[in-house]
Amino acid sequence: MKLNEKKIDMQKVLAPAALVILYVFFSVVGDGFLSMTVFKNILESSYYIGFMAFGVTFIIITGGIDLSLGTVMMCAALLGAYTFKQLHFPLIVSLLVAVLVGAVFGFLNGVMVAKLKLPPFIATLGTMMMSQGFGSIITKVQSQTWPTATEPVGGWFKKVFIRADLFGVKGFPVGVFWLIGFFVIAALILHKTKFGRYVFAIGSNEEAARLSGINVDNWKIAVYTLSGIFVGLSGIMYAAAYTTITPGTGNGQEMNGITGVVIGGTSMSGGSGTMVGTLIGVFIMSVLKTGLSNLNLQAPWQTFFTGLVVIGAVLLDIQRTKAANRVKKS
């Protein structure tokens, strides 16, 4: 029994160790990987993955899944830009629109899963396609741009979310504050609130939770909606980092988020996980992405390796579950 407990503790250090190893690996084989520019790139691509992952952590702990993360994120970013550039609303309104788009799709997912009892996989597969189509329909398949740093109107957008001259540093990565800030909020919600406790209870045994007098359906809707809000925020961070949003994209981005969560130790079968783990998992994903492009291996390679990591992470998850069950038996 002791042996197995040690094994589980091993799993806890596995993700941080993987992050360090990956970082060292790219530093050795990469060209100038240790530079400030690359470091900033790592941070910048971790923002939007991070927000997706924080949200979907809640869903995965309840035993669900959300495949619509990527396309809803793009839809939020598209519609935000559309309200700003085409409809000429103030930028603050388009930020709210982005969050709202995320929340609405999240709520929709929640209602389908909790009330209509659709399997999360199918329900979110549906919204994945709906959100992709919806963004294209509204924008008439035109790319949308968010304001760049030099634009007179809304030039503050990048300065607030991505980089600004701060503390005497030129181009300080301010997005880190948002990432850490919302990480703390997500961690507090997950680990310190009643809501968070119910998330674990539902994932561990939904029927037992229901019979304990918990309104499981409503809490589930809340979980998916909360995740949707985080996805909306990730749309904003994506927009701030990459400026131009193309309709019809976003497909596959959800895997960055989901993989980050699973590498971070959250079980796909629900009931266990931590927000710190997710944060580490997110950095693993962004180091991987940035490292590969640093080696001049572009998008196709990144997709290929993400797929590989997904499989690896889920294999790891299966081993973890097995180890936990072994402890139970002996």
Partner 1 sequence: MGEVILKMDGIQKYFPGVHALDNAHLEVRAGEVMALVGENGAGKSTLMKILTGIYQKDGGSIEYFGQEIEIHGPRDAQSKGICIVHQELNLMQDLTVAENIFIGREPGKGLFLNQGEQNRMTEELLASLHLNINARTQIKRLTVAKQQMVEIAKALSYQNTKVLIMDEPSTALTNSEIEDLFTFIRQLKATGVGIVYISHRMDELKQITDRITVMRDGQYVDTVNTADTTIDQVVQMMVGRVIYEEPKSHSNVPPDAEVVLEAEGLTSLDVKNVSFKLRKGEILGFAGLMGAGRTETMRLLCGADRRDSGTIRVRGKEVNIRSPKDAVNAGIGYLSEDRKLFGLCLGLSVADNTALPSLDKLSGPLFVDDGKIHKAATEYVDKIRIKTPTVKTLIRSLSGGNQQKVVIAKWLHRDCDVLIFDEPTKGIDVGAKSEIYKLMNQLAAEGKSIIMISSELPELLRMSDRVVVMCEGRVTGELDISEATQERIMTFATKRELEEAV
Q: Rule CB under 8 A: is residue 323 a binding residue for partner 1? A: no
Looking at residues 222 to 281 of the shown chain, list those that interact with partner 1 (rule: CB under 8 A).
271-272
**Rg (the chain; Cα; Å):** 20
Q: Give the Cα separation of 224 and 106 in Å (integer).
A: 5
Tell me if 241 sits within 8 A of 47, measured CB to CB.
yes
Q: Mark the segment that binds partner 1 (CB under 8 A) among 17-25, 43-51, 104-112, 320-328.
A: 320-328
Q: How far, in whole angstroms, is CA 233 from its chain's centroid?
A: 10
Tell me if 105 sits within 8 A of 111, measured CB to CB.
no
160 CB-near residues (< 8 Å, 6+ apart): 174, 240
Q: Give the Cα separation of 187 and 55 in Å (integer).
A: 10
Q: Rule CB under 8 A: is residue 193 a binding residue for partner 1? A: yes
Three-state DSSP class for 57? helix
Which CB, 314 or 324, lies closer to partner 1?
324
Binder of partner 1 out of 21, 208, 297, 311 (CB under 8 A): 208
Q: Rule CB under 8 A: is residue 322 a binding residue for partner 1? A: no
Which CB, 118 or 189, lies closer to partner 1?
189
Q: Mark the segment that binds partner 1 (CB under 8 A) among 90-98, 202-210, 256-264, 274-282.
A: 202-210
Binder of partner 1 out of 209, 241, 261, 262 (CB under 8 A): 209
Total binding residues for partner 1 by CB under 8 A?
A: 31
Q: Give the Cα separation of 279 and 150 in Å (integer).
A: 32
Binder of partner 1 out of 35, 86, 215, 244 (CB under 8 A): 215
Q: Rule CB under 8 A: is residue 197 a binding residue for partner 1? A: yes
Q: Mark the segment that binds partner 1 (CB under 8 A) among 19-27, 104-112, 177-185, 212-220.
A: 212-220
Query: Minimum CB separation from partner 1 for residue 268, in Å?
Result: 13
Query: Minimum CB separation from partner 1 for residue 188, in Å?
Result: 7
Q: Give the Cα separation of 256 and 244 in Å (integer).
A: 20
Tell me if 51 sits within 8 A of 113, measured CB to CB.
no
Read off φ and ψ for residue 175, nearest 5 degrees: -55, -25
Kindly list the residues in this chain that would bind partner 1 in the complex (CB under 8 A).
1-4, 188, 192-194, 196-198, 200-201, 203-205, 207-215, 271-272, 324, 327-328, 330
